[in-house]
Amino acid sequence: MSGKRSTFLISALAFGFAFLYVPILLVIIYSFNEGKLVTVWSGFSTKWYVSLFNNDGMIDAAWNSLRIGVMSATLALALGTPAGLVMSRFGRFKGRTLFSGMIAAPLVMPEVITGLSLLLLFVTLEQIVGWPAGRGISTITIAHSTFCAAYVAVVVQSRLSGMDISVEEAAMDLGAKPGKIFFVITLPMILPALLAGWLLSFTLSLDDLVIASFVAGPGSTTLPMKVFSSVRLGVSPEINALATLIILAVSILIVIASIMILRSERMRNRTANASDI
C-alpha cells in the first residue's frame, strides 16, 4: 500500500471522527469552565455541577421526563404489541392495508401536526367529557404513547415476521389454545423485540420537545423543554454540565449493553462448538 493513500485514509478517518465528536468534547470541556461565558475558558471548576443539582427546576424537569418516559413506553408497548401481532399473524383481512397505513402514519407525520392535533383533541375532550382536566403529565404521556406505539408495532411486526410460524403451530398441535400460545411461546420469543421497543419508546419520549410543548401544562415541564427555554435566555454552563452527565449516562449504558451482547454471543459460540463434538 502506498504511503500517500494511507495518509489520505487516516486523515479522512480523523476528520470524520473529529466532525462527530469534537463538539461533544467541547461541551464536556466547557462544563468544567469556571467563567460564566460558555465560549471563553477561564479555569477549571466543578461549580456548575453543584449549581445544577441545586437548580430545582432542572431536577424537577428531569424527574418529569423520566416518569413520562417510563409510563408512555409501557403504554406504547401495551398498544403496539397487539398491533404488530395483528399485522404479521392475522393474514389478509379486510382493511389490512388501511390498518398498516394508519400504523405507519405517525412515523412520518411531522411532529408539529401530531402535537397540534393532539392539543385540539385534548381541549375538545375536556369541553365535552371533562377529561383530561387541564394538560399535564398525563396528556404528555398519552401523546408520547401514540407515536411510540407505532414504533413498537413496527419492531414487533418485523420480529414476528422473522420468526418461524411453525413454532406456534407446534404448540397448538401439542394441545395449547391460541391465548396460551401467545403467553407461553410467542411472548418469550419476542421478548428482545419488546425490550428494544420499550427502550426505543423511552428514548423517543425523553427526546421529544415539539409534541410535549403542545400538550404540556403548568408543572409538567420536561427536560428538553426546560433546556430549550433556558438556552433561549442564554446558554448557561449549567447546560453543559447537564449535557455531560447525559453523555456519561448514555456511554455507560452502551458499554454495558455491548458487554452483555458480546458475552451472550461468546457463550452461544462455545456451546455450539461443544455440541458439534
**Which positions touch another protein (CB under 8 A)?**
164, 166-167, 169-177, 180, 185, 188-189, 268, 271-272, 274-276
| Closest CB to another protein among residues 127, 166 | 166
To which residue does cell 448557561 refer? 236
Eight-class DSSP state of 184 = I
* N residues, the chain: 277
| Closest CB to another protein among residues 34, 265 | 265
Please, what is the minimum distance in Å from the beta carbon of residue 169 to another protein? 6
What gap in Å lies between CA 168 and CA 160, rounded to an integer? Answer: 11
Please, what is the minimum distance in Å from the beta carbon of residue 163 to another protein? 9
| Closest CB to another protein among residues 47, 180 | 180
Please, what is the minimum distance in Å from the beta carbon of residue 181 to another protein? 9
Please, what is the minimum distance in Å from the beta carbon of residue 155 to another protein? 19
Please, what is the minimum distance in Å from the beta carbon of residue 269 to another protein? 11
Neighbouring C-beta atoms of residue 12, cutoff 10 Å: 10
Burial-class residue 210 by CB neighbours within 10 Å (0-12, 13-18, 19+).
middle
Please, what is the minimum distance in Å from the beta carbon of residue 191 to another protein? 8
Eight-class DSSP state of 183 = I
| Closest CB to another protein among residues 97, 275 | 275
In degrees and rounded to multiples of 5, residue 86 shows phi and psi of: -65, -40
Question: How distant is the alpha carbon of residue 134 from its chain centre?
Answer: 26
Q: What do you get for the CA distance between the two ends of the chain, in Å?
A: 42
Please, what is the minimum distance in Å from the beta carbon of residue 211 to another protein? 37
Neighbouring C-beta atoms of residue 139, cutoff 10 Å: 23
| Closest CB to another protein among residues 56, 173 | 173
| Closest CB to another protein among residues 24, 167 | 167
Please, what is the minimum distance in Å from the beta carbon of residue 92 to another protein? 10
| Closest CB to another protein among residues 185, 246 | 185
Considering only CA atoms, give the Rg of the chain. 24
Check whether the bond before 132 is cis (ω within 30° of 0): yes
| Closest CB to another protein among residues 56, 276 | 276
Spell 211-239 as b/e; 16+ CB within 10 A means b. Answer: bbbbbbbeebbbbbbbbeebeeeeebbbb
Q: Which residues contact residue 30 at a Cβ distance below 8 angstroms, ignoring those fewer than 6 apart?
A: 38, 39, 41, 237, 240
